[in-house]
Structure 1
Amino acid sequence: MPFAFRLFSALPLPLLHAIGAMLGWVAFLASPTYRRRFLANAAQAGYAFGQVRAAVAHAGRMVAETPRLWLASEPPRCEAVGTECVEQAWAQGRGIVFLTPHIGCFEMSIQEGARRWAGAHGPFTILYRPARQPWLAKLMRTARSRSGITAVPTTLNGVRQMLKSLRHGQAVGLLPDQVPPQGLGLWSPFFGRPAYTMTLAARLAQQTGAAIILARCERLAWGRGYRLHLEALGEPLARGLEDGVHQINAAMERLIRQSPEQYLWGYARYKEPRSEPHVAPAEAGA
């Protein structure tokens, strides 16, 4: 494991966030491609740079805090609001699909959810794409399969495990604004522009009757920790796949507008999907 990764895992959160903020601005100023994409995505959502400039530093904080979130024995402080919607779903005996966009500390979203509820309701299942570097692939397998969390690869078996977990009344977690490979999504409006959007989140909920809970993990100022905001989707998920995907995209937009200064505007949300062997769309229901 690289020395820098181990070092960052031992540093206090306020220092990590300070270092990360500087790294975020270095990346923004040094990369014209990243800068253009950041500005274009923010403008697509109706934001001037002055309204979202804080997101430059938050992108760097995301990178700097990751080693600590993956390796530290004690997680940073995190409070939660809106937990009633989660408790209500568990009381109904339903599985839960937790959805969060690339906003704030989405790594902490799943860790805090598992810490609070995995003991009583079983582990949270998440998908991950193995890294190409052997050391990082090994680290991701161990770091993301922490206590109360089961990390499964983005394969047919991984999707089957998610379906199984939901049918047993457990929880899964997804980032539905992540661009899927060709054949695993459909084009759906995102801030008024067509974006290739995963169908998996809608399929999981439609096929199992699971509740959809929206999550947004806010970074608190001065490295004081995090605040996890939870809310129900607000209305039943549409039965049609296309309508369900549109509905989830609209929900992600609402979450992002709650805290636009912490969204990853530099993420290539509108890119063309890649073509590679993967789980065929129909196989999600296997």
Structure 2
Amino acid sequence: MKENKRRSRDTRYSSYLHPRWWPTWLGIAVMWLAAWLPLRLQWWLGRRIGDLAYRFAAHRRHITEVNIRLCFPELSEQEQQALVKKSFQANGIGVMELGLAWFRNPTSFIPVTRVHGLEYVDTALAKGRGILLLGGHYSTLDLGGSLVTEYIEADVMQRDHNNPLMNAVMTRARARRYGMVLDSKNLRGLLKQLKNNRVVWYATDQDYGRKGIVFAPFFGVPAGTITATSRIAERSGCAVVPFSHFRREHEPGYDIYFHPPLANFPSGDEMADATQVNRAIENEIRKHPDQYLWMHRRFKTRPSKDDPDLYGKGAG
């Protein structure tokens, strides 16, 4: 276990020359080549990848169907299923965009990128206490992050990729864009960067188990939500600025949104704080609900251990 962990953080390409890594290298080569295709073609190919995943990844399709049924009860069954399929297509495009984020200079996308609310970042930084940039797992995750660094200096917290070689590629790519790439558990490093008045990309919108959480509403459904955001803001005095990034639907291009810092945060009430965090993320998702990572079991951990599994036995 420890050896695997050490390996996952080894970013030297020379460590991955053994033939067992050759299939991964082949996949990386395909990603590199695809990154240089015209953007419209990449989006078309991404949708086809999403169509295939929708058809054959029944396991993930079931999770997505459950999430969308829970979060959008106002939609008809047909509308929910259409959103499921569109979500697979959007995340298929996101797979193609990994190559753009990892292998191309985001400067080339500035002409097709619009930034909204950058003044909120400038105002918060002027106070000298740093910014926790409250992001989410949108399908533009890596490319959106790379585009953000064209407009502000930022650091990022990341969870290591399960494939050590893919993790090396991802980490090296992010290190070229961000000032520092912090391990997701490196709270001390995060606080240090905030103390230095840095902007740190941070996401809370996944199910991390039962430890250190409250069950705050997310689209009206009780969701295990980490309370660390409140503690970080309390200890550092930083501003918590919601932001998001989406691709435009009818023309090649991207939008980045920054919003005013969360008000009265932290409030001293963990449930109220977690509710405010979830609401901020939910508001962004509603802009483009198909561009969110609905394949994740967001409601895996239930308020009571006796509550039924919302995804059914065998969902992963």
TM-score by length of 2: 0.77
Residue 116 of structure 1, aligned match among 137, 142, 151: 151
1:142 aligns to 2:172 (yes or no):
yes
- One-letter amino acid matched to 1:221: E
Q: Quick one: structure 1 residues 132 and 43, their matched pair in 2 at CA, closer, same or farther if it must change by over 3 Å? A: closer
1:205 aligns to 2:233 (yes or no):
yes
In 2, are the aligned partners of 1:14 and 1:222 still within 8 Å (CA)? no
1:105 aligns to 2:133 (yes or no):
no
Residue 89 of structure 1, aligned match among 104, 120, 124: 124
Residue 240 of structure 1, aligned match among 245, 269, 277: 269
Name the residue aligned to 1:64: 96
**Cα distance in 2 for residues equivalent to 1:51 and 1:201:** 34
- One-letter amino acid matched to 1:112: L
Shift of residue 18 of structure 1?
A: 0.9
Residue 61 of structure 2, aligned match among 35, 42, 64: 35
Shift of residue 174 of structure 1?
A: 1.4
**Cα distance in 2 for residues equivalent to 1:266 and 1:134:** 22
Aligned residues: 266
Q: Deviations over 1:109-133 (max 9, x none)?
A: 4323322222xxxxx2212222232
Name the residue aligned to 2:218: 190
In 1, are the aligned partners of 2:97 and 2:142 still within 8 Å (CA)? no
**Cα distance in 2 for residues equivalent to 1:261 and 1:154:** 26
Secondary structure of the equivalent of 1:145? helix
In 2, are the aligned partners of 1:9 and 1:71 still within 8 Å (CA)? yes
1:151 aligns to 2:151 (yes or no):
no
Shift of residue 95 of structure 1?
A: 0.8
Secondary structure of the equivalent of 1:243? helix
Q: Quick one: structure 1 residues 147 and 32, their matched pair in 2 at CA, closer, same or farther if it must change by over 3 Å? A: closer
Residue 49 of structure 1, aligned match among 62, 66, 80: 80
Q: Quick one: structure 1 residues 165 and 116, their matched pair in 2 at CA, closer, same or farther if it must change by over 3 Å? A: same
In 1, are the aligned partners of 2:144 and 2:246 still within 8 Å (CA)? no
Secondary structure of the equivalent of 1:99? strand
Shift of residue 248 of structure 1?
A: 0.4
Query: Which 5+ residue runs of structure 2 have no aligned equivalent?
Result: 1-24, 303-316
1:128 aligns to 2:158 (yes or no):
yes
- One-letter amino acid matched to 2:240: I
Name the residue aligned to 1:230: 258
Deviates more, 1:247-256 or 1:106-115: 106-115
- One-letter amino acid matched to 1:144: R
**Cα distance in 1 for residues equivalent to 2:99 and 2:134:** 23
Secondary structure of the equivalent of 2:137? coil
- One-letter amino acid matched to 1:16: Q
Query: Which 5+ residue runs of structure 1 have no aligned equivalent?
Result: 119-123, 274-286
Shift of residue 69 of structure 1?
A: 0.7
In 1, are the aligned partners of 2:54 and 2:61 still within 8 Å (CA)? yes
Q: Quick one: structure 1 residues 103 and 74, their matched pair in 2 at CA, closer, same or farther if it must change by over 3 Å? A: closer
Name the residue aligned to 2:18: none
Shift of residue 21 of structure 1?
A: 0.8
> Which structure has the greater CA radius of gyration?
2
Q: Deviations over 1:59-100 (max 9, x none)?
A: 111111111211113443322011121111122223111112
Name the residue aligned to 1:283: none
- One-letter amino acid matched to 1:131: H
Shift of residue 193 of structure 1?
A: 2.0
Shift of residue 146 of structure 1?
A: 1.8
Name the residue aligned to 2:296: 267
1:166-185 aligned at under 5 Å gives the runs 166-185=194-213
Shift of residue 223 of structure 1?
A: 6.1
Q: Deviations over 1:177-221 (max 9, x none)?
A: 022254243332222222222233332222211111111111023
Residue 52 of structure 2, aligned match among 8, 20, 26: 26
What is the root-mean-square deviation in Å for CA atoms of aligned residues?
Answer: 2.2
